[in-house]
Amino acid sequence: MLGNGADAARRAIESEEQLLIIARHVKKAGAHLLRGGAYKPRTSPYSFQGLEDAGLKILKRVREETGLPVVTEAVDHEVYDLVEEAADMVQIGARNMQNFSLLKRAGRSPKPVLLKRGQSATVEEWLMAAEYILERGNPRVVLCERGVRTFTRHSRNTLDLSAVPFVQRESHLPIVVDPSHATGKRHQVTPLSRAAVAAGAHGVMVEVHHAPEEALCDGAQSLHPDEFETLCRQIRLVYQASTSP
């Protein structure tokens, strides 16, 4: 769905001004999609949970302003209709990968679905979760590898790039990679994005923020706009090298 070593830029929605600044930067750099988090399921109930309905309205206005298609997460049945109406693509996050009633609802949706791998899920369980959507009649599913929980301490999770060629052998579904959530560390995002494209991923989804030190969440893993621009140039070269005869 992304293809050609393409990028989707992502960011929690903090304000319309903030999202517009980032959207303009990433579009200029070559991003194909903008992922904005209106609903933010967090480990701690005291962390920033997103702007919710107001965030969806901001996301729609930014889409109208920039022309970038938008992706955002539906965290439960209560908000699925709202998200479906606002977004061009609906994300089902890692914590909901086996929320089977939510998967069935996504299967009735006319919108494409971005299905993230659960943090402790095998690839087979992930593919079966996708089958719940496909079986209900929605063929437009994109898988997203975002790291699995291991015993490492040098990154938040372990990015499983071996899942990319395995999924491509076992399934017809496209697969993208999210190195930002996998690592939680800015300096690891660019090299792992290059590796993801070299492994055959159809695209990467990375966090971008123009002032990450002031971000309400995920600032430590967010690229600056100039870093994202450099990343886009690099992965295009990697894609060209990996697909040349």
pLDDT in tens, 120-165: 999 999 999 999 999 999 999 999 999 999 998 899 999 999 999 9
Judge whether residue 2 has pLDDT over 50: no
Q: Which residue type, as a one-letter code, is found at position 58?
A: I
pLDDT over 80 at 8, yes or no: no
Torsion of CA 209, 41, 199, 202, to 10 degrees: -80
The pLDDT of residue 214 is above 80: no
pLDDT of res. 40:
60
What integer is the mean pLDDT of 109-115? Answer: 97
Total Cβ atoms within 10 A of residue 241: 10
In this predicted structure, what is the pLDDT of residue 196?
98
Q: What percent of the chain has pLDDT over 90?
A: 73
Question: Which pLDDT score is estimated for 74?
Answer: 93
- What is the reported pLDDT for 49? 47
Residue 127: strand, helix, or coil: helix
Q: How far apart, in whole angstroms, are the C-alpha atoms of residue 232 and residue 39?
A: 27
Element (H, E) at 73: strand 70-73
Position 216 pLDDT exceeds 70 = no
Tell me which of 9-18, 19-28, 153-162, 188-197 is least confident: 9-18
- What's residue 244's pLDDT? 82
- Rounded-to-integer distance, Cα 109 and Cα 140, Å: 10
215 — pLDDT class (breaks 50, 70, 90): low
Relative orientation angle of helices 53-66 and 16-29, to the nearest 10 degrees:
40
Instruction: Work out the pLDDT band at 1, boundaries 50, 70, 90.
Output: very low
Place of tokens 């309205």: 57
Q: Compute the average pLDDT of residues 204-212.
A: 89
For residue 159, the model assigns a pLDDT of 97
- Could you tell me the end-to-end alpha-carbon distance of the chain, in angstroms, rounded to an integer? 23
Q: How buried is 159 (Cβ within 10 angstroms: 0-12 exposed, 13-18 middle, 19+ buried)?
A: buried
As a whole number of angstroms, the distance between CA 189 and CA 135 comes to: 34
The C-alpha atoms of residue 164 and residue 243 are separated, in whole angstroms, by 15
**Strand-pair category, 6-12 with 203-207:** parallel
Domains with residue ranges and CATH for the chain: 6-243 (3.20.20.70)
Question: Between these two residues, 128 and 218, which has the higher pLDDT value?
Answer: 128
Q: pTM here?
A: 0.90
Residue 211 has a pLDDT of 80
Q: Which amino acid is at 47?
A: S
48-95, pLDDT tens digit by residue? 445 667 888 898 999 999 999 999 999 988 889 999 999 999 999 999
Q: Give me the pLDDT at residue 98, please.
A: 97
